[in-house]
Amino acid sequence: MIAIIDYNAGNLKSVEKAFVSLKEECVVTRDLNTILSADKVVLPGVGAFGKAMVQLKKYELDKAIKEVVSEGKPFLGICLGLQLLFEGSEESSGVEGLNILDGQIIRIPSKEGLKIPHIGWNSLDITPDGRLFKGLDANPYVYFVHSYYLKAKDEQIVKATTEYGVNIHASVEKDNVFACQFHPEKSSSVGLKILENFCNIK
């Protein structure tokens, strides 16, 4: 069973719908026991970094997430869910992230002809060893909606990048922790394949 964490950050239904379409048992929940007993856990998210951290702490979901990760269960962060795994974000100065992975979330630089937020389809450059991208072409197209991007401290964990005025670390993987800045649940057949690959991780 896959637990999709509900911390009032929106976009939960589309994530749930994507897993249901893959015939995976899933539940949208903030119940700590349900999350801790799940086989896999997903942290989706749309919105501001600081507000999201307040919500996670309010429901003690920050502790549950760290416990799930420490137990070695497959964990997937999506969009804001990726950003929250890191140390902090320029969006919310002084707010500490979950600190599960090392890196900072930085605002996409303003450049002429570059719209922020970055909304739309971009191709990825993926590494051969990224388990989320098994069976996909080297440059699949996925759907982004974001104004801030990840700069991971250890580039060895980066399994996909994209270009949007700057080189964006678009997906990371470290042991049982996976995360995507883009929205696989909105990325058509490519996104469903990514979610299917996550479901198949033991």
Locate 123 and state its tokens: 């191709």
Contact 38, 45 (CB under 8 A): no
Active site residue 79: yes
| Type of residue found at 178 | F
Cα(113)–Cα(122) distance, integer angstroms? 16
Contact 25, 38 (CB under 8 A): no
Coil, helix or strand at residue 191:
helix
Residue of 79, 118, 169, 180 marked catalytic? 79
Residue 2: CB atoms within 10 Å: 22
Active site residue 118: no
Contact 3, 27 (CB under 8 A): yes
Active site residue 183: yes
Residue of 146, 173, 183, 196 marked catalytic? 183
Residue of 16, 91, 173, 185 marked catalytic? 185
Residue positions annotated with a catalytic role: 79, 183, 185
